[in-house]
Amino acid sequence: MKKVGKIIVYVFIAVVILVGGALSYVKVALPDVGDPPNIQVELTPARIERGKYLANHVTVCVDCHSTRHWNKFSGPLDTNGVGTGGEKFDHNIGFPGEVYVPNITPYNLGKWTDGEIYRAITSGVKKDGSAIFPIMPYKAYSKMDTEDIYSIIAYLRTLPPKETGSPERSLDFPVNFLVNTMPVKAQPQKIPAKEDQLAYGAYLVNSASCRDCHTKQEKGTPIEGMDFAGGYDFRLPGGTVSSANITQDLETGIGRWSKEQFISRFKSYQNPHAMKSVSEGDFQTVMPWTMYGNMETSDLEAIFTYLKTVKPIRNQVTKFSPSIASN
């Protein structure tokens, strides 16, 4: 029996050493996506304008990296806080820890090289080599055309520098280790010609990371076979909003929508000043309608063309469940 006991102790010690070694490797050696590229982005007017359009209306970088008026429907942008960061993700919304969205104006990024910003956007690795939590959909951005990423960098360089800071993040175990395995190497793809509406629409859907929010997840992993079927839950102070089913299902998705209806839905939110006030318990959404509402009509047409090819999935979604009784 003593011999068996010793064997058990030795096995336990070996397991502890192996696990400790694995955790140390993940914590120290990862992420491993390579050094930032040695680039210097020329700040041409065309790039700045393209980057402004992408960051505000397609990739919507300013969605999370700015302050927003959450007392209004869809949280329209606070124009005085563009790029200043400050959004907080924590346990109150079901997040595994606390993450504060950083300032991306030149006040914070002024000491970053263009290559370091490029690596952060497309691979999810910060200037100091640490991993970015994939709230920012860098896996989608990693597939964007390099020139489009350059344009975003050019635009960020022109933002008024605003002096704001944010606390360091704190992630729960084991996410604080797993986050280091998440960054990816950039796999840029050429932007399709606008005339090829299907391919161009697919490019825009990826750039806007529509799949990420419109696919239900379990423990941070999209449920297989449920792409674009909605049901991803977002906890808000007054309730839980669930993303819509945007597959071609006729009953629970957008299969009956015409192109004109689709475009009109977005364009109806073009004016952020017209957004109604909401109280706690009222229907609210995290969908940045006022940002997407100013997307070019031709781009919305291309997105609709792509979505028409998405497999219909029957999935009835309850869009909003208030946590308190509405008045």
HEC sequence for 119-170: HHHHHCECCCCCECCCCCCHHHHCCCCHHHHHHHHHHHHHCCCCCCCCCCCE
Residues 87 and 101 sit within 8 Å (Cβ to Cβ): yes
pLDDT recorded at residue 6: 52
Q: Identify the sign of the CA torsion 170, 168, 157, 80.
A: positive
The rounded distance, in Å, linking the Cα atoms of 311 and 61 is 28
What pLDDT sits at residue 219?
A: 77
pLDDT tens digits, 127-182: 999 999 999 999 999 999 999 999 999 999 999 999 998 888 889 988 888 899 89
Query: How far from the centroid of its chain's Cα atoms is residue 155's Cα?
Result: 19
Instruction: Give 213 or 325, the one with higher predicted confidence.
Output: 213
> How confident is the model at residue 1, as a pLDDT?
55
3-class SS string, the chain: CHHHHHHHHHHHHHHHHHHHHHHHHHHHCCCCCCCCCCCCCCCCHHHHHHHHHHHHHCCCHHHHCCCECCCECCCCECHHHCCCCCCEECHHHCCCEEEECCCCCHHHHCCCCHHHHHHHHHHCECCCCCECCCCCCHHHHCCCCHHHHHHHHHHHHHCCCCCCCCCCCEECCCHHHHHHHCCCCCCCCCCCCCCCHHHHHHHHHHHCCHHHHCECEECCEECCCCCCCECCEEEECCEEEECCCCCCCCCCCCCCCCHHHHHHHHHCCCCHHHCCECCCCCCCCCCCHHHHCCCCHHHHHHHHHHHCCCCCCCCCCCCEEECCCCC
Distance, CA of 289 to CA of 300 (rounded, Å): 13
- Kindly tell me the burial class for residue 26, based on how many C-beta atoms sit within 10 Å of its own C-beta (0-12, 13-18, 19 or more): middle
| Half-sphere exposure in the Cβ direction for 283 (13 Å, CA) | 8
60 CB neighbour count, 10 Å cutoff:
20
Whether 12 shows a pLDDT value over 50: the answer reads: no
CB contact set of 271 (below 8 Å; sequence gap of 6+)? 290
- Tokens, residue 195: 């005339």
pLDDT digits (tens, 9 = 90+) for 172-208: 988 888 899 899 999 999 999 999 999 999 999 999 9
**For the residues 240-251, what does the mean pLDDT come to?**
96
Look up residue 206 and give its two tokens.
């990826």
| Position 43 confidence tier, pLDDT thresholds 50, 70, 90 | very high
Mean pLDDT of 263-285: 91
